[in-house]
Amino acid sequence: MRYNPSMTFIDPGIWSTLDTAYQNELSSDLDLEHIRLLTQTVASAPARRALLQALRLGDHKKALDLGSGFGPAVFELAAIGVPSIYGIDTDSAAIAVAQHVHSSLDGWIPPSCTLEFKEMNATALNFEDATFDLVTSFLLYQHVDDPYALTAEAWRVLERGGIFCAVEVDNGLSVIYPEPSEAVTRLEAAYDSMAHHKGGDRLIGRKLSTMMENQGFNIEAVLVLPNAAHGPSRPSDLGRQLDLERIMLAGDSIVEQGILTREEFDEYINIYAEEETSTRFRLETLIAAVGHKA
Ligand SMILES: C[S@@+](CC[C@H](N)C(=O)[O-])C[C@H]1O[C@@H](n2cnc3c(N)ncnc32)[C@H](O)[C@@H]1O
């Protein structure tokens, strides 16, 4: 079995250099959408690092991280021993941040390791067949309009014996208690529906292993990675402000697609902006699927 959660992890103190580098980027002049993405990158770090190690992905020699964003998985794979890693993404601003973080990590990345970030579409990769022995994808599938093309590309660039590891959200496995107001529930549903119209899929987690198997992968592991928290949710919280910004940016698309009227959107967003709950339980769940190209 590839997944071994009780294996010995590297000293967690090693991550502080990377964490500091990302904190520095957060205090630079990023726009709100990139701050939101970077906050998500930082928040997901412990689960991703544990997973990379428990799956022994550090044993691989040449890795490709699809939709690498600010590069966390690329740096983390380097730290656990992968000697050659590419990160690709369509967002040039995210790649610029990843390259900046890379330069600030001087001495932290093992000297024998080569890292490269490239602007590229994950559904049309500019790599030869059978180039890598590991392909990873974190929180990318939910954004692409052709997940089958993404799976096919991962298969194509992997050599025989290679591993594809994909990690995704599944909003159907999220729980909030007490339940938010109807206005907030309708706004979040409108956002998901808008994302779906654009080709995204917030229920993609449960579909990963079937898609991989249909492509030809042998499924080695399917894991549920829950993240539960309890605490107040106040309008002044950074997370709340970033969520508000995310939905406001989607407002025109939500109205243009007829999901909500402008009046409904404006009414709900005002409630969303001001709603305060003293306590809140929140469970968010990621699904990881690992396929082997036999
Ligand atoms: C939610 S972010 C995740 C970033 C990173 N994997 C992480 O876990 O922090 C999704 C990333 O996928 C990128 N992306 C979306 N569609 C893409 C595509 N077709 N090809 C490559 N990257 C894409 C976005 O630019 C964004 O950086």
Ligand 1 center to residue 5 CA distance, Å? 27
**Encoded tokens for 117:** 């970030």
> Which pLDDT score, from 0 to 100, does residue 235 have?
80
AA identity, residue 216: G
State in Å: Cα 221 to ligand 1 middle. 23
Angle 141-36-138 (CA atoms, 0-180°, nearest 5)? 25
Contact at 8 Å (CB) between 64 and 138? no
- Residues linked to residue 86 through DSSP beta bridges, in sequence order: 64, 116
Tokens at 11, concatenated: 């000293």
Please tell me the distance between residue 286's alpha carbon and the centre of ligand 1 in angstroms: 16
Whole-structure pTM value: 0.92
Indicate the top mutation candidate among 140, 146, 150, 157 to test ligand 1's pocket, ranked by most ligand atoms within 8 A of CB: 140
Spell out, as residue ranges, where the chain has pLDDT lower than 70. 1, 277-279
Q: Which fold would CATH assign to domain 12-171+199-228+283-292?
A: Rossmann fold (3.40.50)
Q: Domain-by-domain residue ranges, the chain?
A: 12-171+199-228+283-292
As a whole number of angstroms, the longest Cα–Cα distance in the chain is 58
Dihedral angle of Cα 78, 80, 81, 87, to the nearest 10 degrees: -30
At residue 80, φ and ψ (nearest 5 deg) are -95, 10
pLDDT of amino acid 70: 97
Measured in angstroms, how far is the CA atom of residue 241 from the centroid of ligand 1?
22
> pLDDT of 74-97, one tens digit each?
999 999 999 999 999 999 999 999
Q: Which residues line ligand 1 (CB under 6 A)?
A: 37, 41, 67-69, 72, 88-91, 94, 121-123, 138-140, 143-144
User: Whose CA is closest to 137, among 163, 110, 106?
Assistant: 163
Nearest to 147 by CA among 66, 244, 35, 77: 66
